[in-house]
Structure 1
Amino acid sequence: MPINQALVATGSRGRWTGRPASTTAAISASVSSIANTDEEENTATLSASAPNQISSYASPSVLVDPIRTSSAAFGTASVSVASSQNTTSTQTGNCSCGYILTSYNNAYFPESLIVDFSTVTDKSSLANMGLRIMDGSRAGSVAPDGGRSLTSIDNVAIKDGILTLTVPGGQAKGGQISSAEIETIFAATGGVFTMNAKLSPVAGTCQAIFTYTDNEDRSLDEQDIEIVAITPGMIQLTNHDPNKTKKSDEQKSPFTNDPFTSFNEYTIGWFKDSTKYYYNGAVLNGPTQYRSVNPSQIVINNWSSGKETFTQGPPVDDTVLQVKGIAYYYQKESMATYPAYPNGCSESQACRV
């Protein structure tokens, strides 16, 4: 469902090739041992014939890289991304029994995290909303020349009611490249996760929302929506095999409008029997294999390794991913228990949104 129609209830990382290292030293030590992923190689092979569906929307000189937990804070009210403040009044009653998502085949999820960033004045308050800013961890894979992305809290900001994730321009290839990332504090086992965002037209990064396992020792679950420099004009959708086989299923869909001049909704629908992907509410032709099955964080990031067959870059100018809001409906119980109604609740008591 559109973010600006979301109800809020009181209650209750793209391609990493391994959970991010926590220190610069650990990242440097791991560079030589990290192999290129099959998915990135497939992307490079397919990109040669991929049409640029958005070439008419932005200057080629910009598009082509020259070098390369809880919703308690929001009460139970209807929330609009465009609203000036959060409200605690209720128009539809208490949603403590969860949500039926009418735009997603009446899927049910018991919890929600809705954030309208126009109501957030300080990024330090994100932790109280169930989000953490990554700082000093690796995002994405390592390039053959040693280029790797390191998250920095300094690259995440809230400005004019928009959450911004920036990869600063002018960084050198072949070394540490500063990036930006946020993720949920909680891990979900299913849900519908929407980001309302405007992409940067400056090439040289991967701008993404995805789910990623909370325990790499156990599994490598990952479900991606990515926009990468090597495939301009396309939304790249990928499911990764949770069983650590390094296999993946990938599809690409062309943009139907200009994602650089307007805000659009990017949605991952992680259901009991499938994963589906949506753009502005329209289902995309996505992968059908390797649906995630284990608890995972929901991650939004903007990063570059300088790898010529994937992110390219690093960008010459600042690349800024702008996020107006998020709407996450989810469960944390095993999908074997779906639908996971809270104690004393039934389908008839859930809010229809």
Structure 2
Amino acid sequence: MDYTVPAKYDNTINRIFDPTNVQVIEDGGVHLTVKKMDNGSYTSASFGTKRQDILYGTFRANMKTTPEPGTVAAFFFFRNNTCEIDMESLSRIQNPWKTYFSVQPQIYNEDGSASTLTNDKHTLNFDPTSAFHEYRFDWTPEDITYYLDGEEANRFSQNIPSEPGRIIINHWTDGNPNFSGLPSVQDATLSIANLTVFFNSSEATGPPPCQRSTKPCSIAGILKIILFLCTVFQSLFNNIF
């Protein structure tokens, strides 16, 4: 990604995505780094799939988050701001560590707080900065199920997205004291060991038949999808920009 999200409030900063902050590691994986620049600004890092026809599936990333406070590590499906599935880890929240699960649009309570129907500030039972852990969400027309290291963590059945989009991983800061927090002067790195996706396509015209359906493929059909779409993710970095 190579663009800037302007600051929303007086106490926040521009979210500047710099493609040079995305680095492929020689022994495998990717580093996404948030950096403080000489002029005092901060740059962030992001990549996403070129394909934007992803509609339902299972999505898994093995990641190790930064111990430096003030950043957000996000693994998510995105079409637009009202059609989104998120797993976000805020590095300022430590001991206990948390990962936020949410769908957009969110449901809000009468007091303005986010409803547990579409939002979960989930407490982790591990330190996400000390080792790689698998973050996963399964998306069907009926619900979204979140997993941590293969164990179900939560499930939402309200406001489930029903339109196609793309998968994105990013690591960013905007200085918002109520969310990302004030960033560290030290470089902060999100490490990604791998990204695995199995998905239906909203634009498929050939086999397998389930790929033309608005319903999720059966597990038995996944091998056919892999063979048919082997070029989609045979190299992660052929699908990044």
Given the two structures, how large is their TM-score scaled by the length of structure 2?
Answer: 0.75
* Counterpart-to-counterpart distance in 1, 2:101 and 2:216: 26
TM-superposed CA distance for 1:137, in Å, is: 4.0
Per mean C-alpha deviation after superposition, the further-off stretch among 279-288 and 182-191 is: 279-288
TM-superposed CA distance for 1:255, in Å, is: 1.2
Q: Which one of 67, 70, 78 corresponds to residue 212 of structure 1?
A: 78
Tell me if structure 2 keeps the 8 A contact 1:170–1:314. no
Q: Which one of 144, 164, 167 corresponds to residue 31 of structure 2?
A: 164
Structure 1 or 2: more helix by fraction: 1
* Counterpart-to-counterpart distance in 2, 1:268 and 1:308: 28
Stretches of structure 1 that go unaligned for 5 or more consecutive residues are 1-133
* Counterpart-to-counterpart distance in 2, 1:224 and 1:340: 22
Partner residue in 1 for 2:105: 241
The letter for the 2-side match of 1:302 is: H
Per mean C-alpha deviation after superposition, the further-off stretch among 219-228 and 271-280 is: 219-228
TM-superposed CA distance for 1:288, in Å, is: 3.6
Q: Residues 112-123 of structure 1 correspond to what in structure 2 (within 5 A)?
A: none
Tell me if structure 1 keeps the 8 A contact 2:37–2:43. no
Q: Which one of 197, 200, 223 corresponds to residue 85 of structure 2?
A: 223
Instruction: Note closer, same or farther for the CA distance 1:286–1:234 as it changes in structure 2 (3 Å cut).
Output: farther
| Percent of residue pairs bearing the same amino acid type | 24
Q: Residues 279-294 of structure 1 correspond to what in structure 2 (within 5 A)?
A: 279-294=148-163
Partner residue in 1 for 2:47: 182
* Counterpart-to-counterpart distance in 2, 1:152 and 1:142: 19
Q: Residues 39-188 of structure 1 correspond to what in structure 2 (within 5 A)?
A: 134-138=1-5, 142-159=8-25, 160-169=27-36, 177-187=42-52, 188=54
1:191 equivalenced with 2:68 (yes/no): no
* Counterpart-to-counterpart distance in 2, 1:319 and 1:262: 15
The letter for the 2-side match of 1:338 is: K
Per mean C-alpha deviation after superposition, the further-off stretch among 320-329 and 281-290 is: 281-290
Q: Greater CA radius of gyration, 1 or 2?
A: 1
Secondary structure of the 2:126 match is coil
TM-superposed CA distance for 1:289, in Å, is: 2.1
Instruction: Note closer, same or farther for the CA distance 1:204–1:286 as it changes in structure 2 (3 Å cut).
Output: farther
Instruction: Note closer, same or farther for the CA distance 1:172–1:220 as it changes in structure 2 (3 Å cut).
Output: farther
TM-superposed CA distance for 1:177, in Å, is: 2.9
* Counterpart-to-counterpart distance in 1, 2:177 and 2:221: 53
Partner residue in 1 for 2:144: 275
Q: Which one of 210, 215, 220 corresponds to residue 338 of structure 1?
A: 215
Partner residue in 2 for 1:324: 193
* Counterpart-to-counterpart distance in 2, 1:277 and 1:161: 26
Instruction: Note closer, same or farther for the CA distance 1:288–1:349 as it changes in structure 2 (3 Å cut).
Output: closer
* Counterpart-to-counterpart distance in 2, 1:254 and 1:168: 27
Tell me if structure 2 keeps the 8 A contact 1:237–1:286. no
Q: How many aligned residue pairs are there?
A: 207
Instruction: Note closer, same or farther for the CA distance 1:146–1:274 as it changes in structure 2 (3 Å cut).
Output: same
* Counterpart-to-counterpart distance in 2, 1:312 and 1:336: 42
Tell me if structure 2 keeps the 8 A contact 1:230–1:309. no
Tell me if structure 2 keeps the 8 A contact 1:156–1:180. yes
Deviations 1:83-138 (CA, angstroms, capped at 9, x unpaired): xxxxxxxxxxxxxxxxxxxxxxxxxxxxxxxxxxxxxxxxxxxxxxxxxxx11243
TM-superposed CA distance for 1:258, in Å, is: 1.8
Secondary structure of the 1:154 match is helix
Stretches of structure 2 that go unaligned for 5 or more consecutive residues are 108-113, 204-211, 227-241
RMSD (Å) for aligned C-alpha atoms: 3.1
Q: Which one of 105, 120, 124 corresponds to residue 255 of structure 1?
A: 124
The letter for the 1-side match of 2:47 is: I
Secondary structure of the 1:231 match is coil
Tell me if structure 2 keeps the 8 A contact 1:150–1:178. yes
